[in-house]
Amino acid sequence: MADEDRGYRYGAPPTPTADYSQLNQGLGEPTGSNPGGGTAFPGRVPGESRQAYNAWWEEYSPDIQPWIDANPGREDEFMGLAWTWRNNPTRLRDEVLKAGFAVPASPDSGGGRRGGGGGGGGATKEQQYASAEAAVRNRAGMLGITFDDAAIMSIAKTVVDASWSSDQLDDYLVPAAQSTNQAGVITATVNQVQQLAARQLLKVSDATAREWAARVASGEMDLDGVQSLLQAQAVQRYGWAASQISQGIGVRDLLLPTRDRIADELEMNPEEIDLMDEQWLGMVQTADANGQIRAATDSEAIMRARQRAEWANTRKAGDLAANTVMTIRNYFGG
């Protein structure tokens, strides 16, 4: 069998129980060519070449090595996870947290934008860890993340030992929360972002809303910044309302009276008319003689409402038809 096909699937036991240097005998891999030394290839599976494996580790070992150093005795287990999920950082983070790995000290530990996340004063280490565990658990809960006790303890230990600030803790937790659907700051902010967008009659994808929500949760931006972004987009799309938008007025609010006029003409509940739907948006806007888009007048909106098939079944349409017939009869003296 060729060397290229003699990789193995590493089972990642809680603690090393095997002599990993024996698992790939015959591959002829020089000692020391992999992080941690030896001739093992944690995480490598058949079909994955040792050359590609080594090339990846040479590139990413500066990022991975601090984790290996922080978890003595679990080097091969971490290497196996890192290789297995190398193309899925979010899954790798989740797997590392679930496995309870110790978090390495941040390169800028000791700094802080909002004050420390753990520890303090004359408290004992045990008291600092307990306080940090409570802080981590509370913040994770607010973000909508669920960790087991081992993961909470591991993160709390790092918060205390590395003197993490609250912002550093958020920098670590927020990416894991971005994809959650559990109630918390992220999902609440996603809803707020989409509401702000709807007020300007703009559609924001769930992915974009979640990205902005994560940045709000981490303190990188705030909802005022999100609102400014949406207002700028609204000005580009609804230039006729630029002045009002700059004053903080939503495009939807500007067009609601026209929507209500259409609903009245069609004898509909106004809430049934979704201005995000192009068929209705086209009725509350119009193009002038120069092709410039502007808000439709009431008479223009009414005319368009009466051109819809639904209008023929309204009471108003029936009354208008009856009045027309009566007018014709009267004209001819009938």
Q: What pLDDT does residue 72 have?
A: 84
Q: Which of 69, 87, 105 is the last residue of a domain?
A: 87
What are phi and psi for residue 165, nearest 5 degrees? -85, 170
158, part of any domain: no
276, part of any domain: yes
Taking the model in full, what pTM does it have?
Answer: 0.51
219, part of any domain: yes
326, part of any domain: yes
Both 263 and 321 in a single domain? yes
96, part of any domain: no
28, part of any domain: yes
Q: How many CB atoms lie within 10 A of CB 31?
A: 9
Q: What pLDDT does residue 245 have?
A: 93
Q: Which of 87, 104, 129 is the last residue of a domain?
A: 87
Both 13 and 39 in a single domain? yes
Structure tokens at 114: 């909002």
Both 56 and 15 in a single domain? yes
pLDDT category of residue 328 using cuts at 50, 70 and 90: low
122, part of any domain: no
The domain containing residue 227 runs over which residues?
185-237
More confident call, 327 vs 74: 74
Both 278 and 323 in a single domain? yes
Residue 102 pLDDT > 70? yes
User: What is the percent of the chain where pLDDT is above 90?
Assistant: 14
Residue 115 pLDDT > 60? no
Q: Are 111 and 84 in contact (CB under 8 A)?
A: no
Number of domains in the chain: 3
Both 203 and 279 in a single domain? no
Both 15 and 83 in a single domain? yes
Q: Which of 60, 87, 114 is the last residue of a domain?
A: 87
Q: Are 17 and 29 in contact (CB under 8 A)?
A: no
Task: Spell out the alpha helix ranges (H) of 162-293.
Answer: 166-177, 185-199, 206-217, 223-237, 242-246, 251-266, 278-284
Both 215 and 258 in a single domain? no
SS3 116: strand
Region 270-293: what's the mean pLDDT?
87
Both 227 and 266 in a single domain? no
CA angle centred on 62, ends 135 and 37, rounded to 5°: 110
Both 261 and 213 in a single domain? no
Both 255 and 226 in a single domain? no
pLDDT in tens, 46-75: 777 777 888 887 877 777 888 888 888 888
Both 15 and 75 in a single domain? yes
- Which range, of 31-45, 199-213, 246-260, averages the lowest pLDDT? 31-45
pLDDT in tens, 170-198: 777 787 776 666 667 788 888 889 999 99
CA angle centred on 140, ends 158 and 75, rounded to 5°: 40
More confident call, 150 vs 88: 150
Q: What pLDDT does residue 18 have?
A: 40
Structure tokens at 144: 């909508």
Q: Are 140 and 107 in contact (CB under 8 A)?
A: no
Both 12 and 83 in a single domain? yes
Residue 88 pLDDT > 80? no
pLDDT category of residue 119 using cuts at 50, 70 and 90: very low
147, part of any domain: no
